[in-house]
Amino acid sequence: MNELNYSVVSEFFVLLGLCDSWELQVFFFLLILVLYLVIVLGNIFIVVLVVTDSHLHSPMYFLLANLSFVDLLLSSVTTPKMITDLLKENKTISFEGCMCQILFVHFVGGGEMVLLVAMAYDRYVAICKPLHYTSIMSQRRCIWLVMISWTIGFIHSMSQLVVIVDLPFCGPRVVNSFFCDIPLVIELACIDSYSLGILMNSDSGVLAMTCFIVLLISYTYILLTVRHYSKVGVSKALSTCTAHIMVVVLFFGPCIFIYVWPLNITSVDKFLAVFYSVITPLLNPAIYTFRNKEIKVSLRRFKNQYVKSRWNL
């Protein structure tokens, strides 16, 4: 009988979504739909701007374009499904779809953590070793940094998936969120999931905390170094580093709370999941656009070229 219960189970997971109120679901549908369109357009625009403007062909903007691409992927893993489910009464996802969400959320999320470390390394070299910047941050090294971030993200996600995919599930498969994530899915397994949950959360928590501590040390060292520069140099370094630090805090804050904080508060976890899957990818282009002078100049050049081309037509 126990073997039968383990094998004969639903092929779908039920997602409870963000809320139960129909009015709130319609409101969230319209809000998140608009935000997602801004995310797609904003991040694609930054990638196109960096690729097409020769003035932005530098290591920092190469990494920034990759960050925008990663943010677009991270948001696209969960947000389209969340938007369509807000207008559905029955919110379900197949077992394969659930496992794919877990795979890609941790693949892209883990890669973004390491990519932010690579961006901090770029700022460290540019500010602390400016004379050697071009030789250290060569095109080959930049490509290697991006490849390393994707590789670590892949290893991290696969280490999670190989454990989750073979778990036995029985009874109701109800996930109290708008997408499948490891802590919520493990709770549905027909085993003593407490120790396994701690192990899986520790995997994500260690990666998040390690990258965050490295970033904290890096930017602290950079800020201590720029004290000896001229006022102009300090102002420029602080402007660049402040934008990076804001992105780091916005991304790592929710991740650390979800995977490191010992208490599981469903309403807070839902809000933080929305934050790092919708709000952070939305704010990253805005932060770099409005705080970066070279991006602003590039935007004006792009606008002038567009107007000139339209005028010639």
Q: Enumerate the domain spans of the chain.
A: 22-260+268-288
For the whole model, what pTM was predicted? 0.86
Distance CA 204, CA 206 (A): 6
CB atoms within 10 A of CB 232: 8
Tell me the backbone φ, ψ of residue 189, rounded to 5 degrees: -70, 150
Tell me the backbone φ, ψ of residue 92, rounded to 5 degrees: -125, 160
Can you tell me the mean pLDDT for 6-11? 48
Can you tell me the mean pLDDT for 59-79? 91
Fold of 22-260+268-288: Rhopdopsin 7-helix transmembrane proteins (1.20.1070)
Can you tell me the mean pLDDT for 249-264? 73
| Residues 28/19, Cβ–Cβ less than 8 Å | yes
- The amino acid sitting at 259 is Y
Residue 36, pLDDT above cutoff 90: yes
